Structure 1
Amino acid sequence: MPLRSAHRPAVPAAHRQRALLAALCVLCALCAPALSPGPARAEPIRLTVGVESIDYPPYGSFRNGDYEGFARDLLDSFAIEYGYTMAYVPLPVKRLYQEYLEGRSLDLKFPDSPTWHPSRRKGLQIAYSVPICSFTDGILVKPENVGKGMQVIKTLGILAGFEPWLLDPPIDSRTIRISENLTISGLLSKGIRGRVDGVYACVQAARHLLTTMGIRDKLVYDPSLPHVDGVYRLSSIRRPRVMRQFDEFMNTRSQLVNSLRRKHGLDR
């Protein structure tokens, strides 16, 4: 009986391609070194920022349960770029100093300056940022009292926790009565109603609020009275590395920082 030649059935091209692909995958798996999974992405570090629980535009204000203003925009921009999250902790000025300088419960403080309450800072290693924005602390009076000197000011209104003794030249605490208020808007109202003879405050913040209230000309800054020019800084006792990063941010992202100053009217 003659032998018949064996004929294999044709294998479809698609099947051949899938088989070849499977073989290549097996070969790669055998030849390639085992790959360990990459490290899990770290959660952003949470930083607590002590801020003043007062309405102090355009620098920073705590309104309707949220912190807003120039400082918020600036610090949020820094946090996004360096992988942090900011938790803003609003506190009355006096308690803010206590929690920050004594309790050490806060990572950062804004605004701050080494000249504020220097005796309470002795012995502390506090890192201060480069200057963030400038300010003028001075005395606002009624327009008719501009240029009349300190002799017309018997009672000076200040925000609770602020120190009018930093003014230059210093004012005489023995001849001037101090009247504290918890809010700058309440303080300005006292000045307009004549319950205090002058209001000691940040001139930029006072002008901003008076303009918002539609009464900018009711109280005016008298540059002939004692005043002080300075800069606001960010500071930290617990996070010196963060402060170095923040300085780097301020130096390398000057265009962004200046745009935020313009947005909040702090470039004038």
Structure 2
Amino acid sequence: MRALLISAAIFAACSPTVDAQDRQSDGLNKIAERDLREFKAMLPGVYDNQEQVYFQENLDLPQDKRLPRLTLTITPDGNGFKAVTDSPTTGRTTEARLEYFIKEGQIQSRETREGQADCDRIFTRNLEHFRGEGCGGAVIASDTGFVFGDPDRPFKMRRAQMFKCWVSPQKTDGSYAFYNDVVLHDQGGRAWVTGDDHPRVGLKIRNVVWAAGNNRPSLVLYTYKGDDEDKAASYAWTSPDEPRIGINLRWMQVSCTRGSDTITPGINLKTGSGQ
């Protein structure tokens, strides 16, 4: 009997009380709530796997190992988010609603497509990224982008940064047209400008991180002319952390600035030279 009483006393001393369990649960919920706030603040943006697609072609990967290009745009939508995925390869667009909440001290998500709950995930925080398990696979989210899909060949979606550009193509009479507030992003974002008195011109920006070799990362501005959307007419590059990039080809001038500010330069539209 004495042994039973001692064992019971030890068990009672070592076992958490209901109040202790509640406090522990409250503590876990508070940590999860902080993590969820930071996670939701991180989510909105544009994500693209342009670099992955470019280098799988550049490295001559077998066709069955290649992934299509995707652009993922996440925007706030009420208490949740709207996620729109565009595939330039297939021309397909899909839309989903993402909701995040705390349950039992964990971040959980629910994805809804066409009004029907599609799948749920549980997220855990690991230093600077969040890992979600469920929906038949894992997703890793950080402030640099997303990784998801088949573990052997996952989609690697890099967060894009927006640029606002002005474009000045040369007209048939030798003067220059001018277009402001041309918006594109640095993960292969494109923009085209057309006019009755000048050729169709285009531009693209990439934040290049080389998949192999020792070349340094670069911010690259490509220019296009006419109907050829594959081969760039010319390009310029700079350090990836530079806030501006531009080019003057005589038949077109372009200047792009990181961010959303409108830049209006002093341009001599007759000669194309700066005032």
Q: TM-score, length-normalised on structure 2? A: 0.22
Where relative contact order (Cα < 8 A, 6+ residues apart) is larger, the structure is 1
Structure with the higher strand share, 1 or 2:
2
Q: TM-score, length-normalised on structure 1? A: 0.23
* Structure number with larger C-alpha Rg: 1
Structure with the higher helix share, 1 or 2:
1
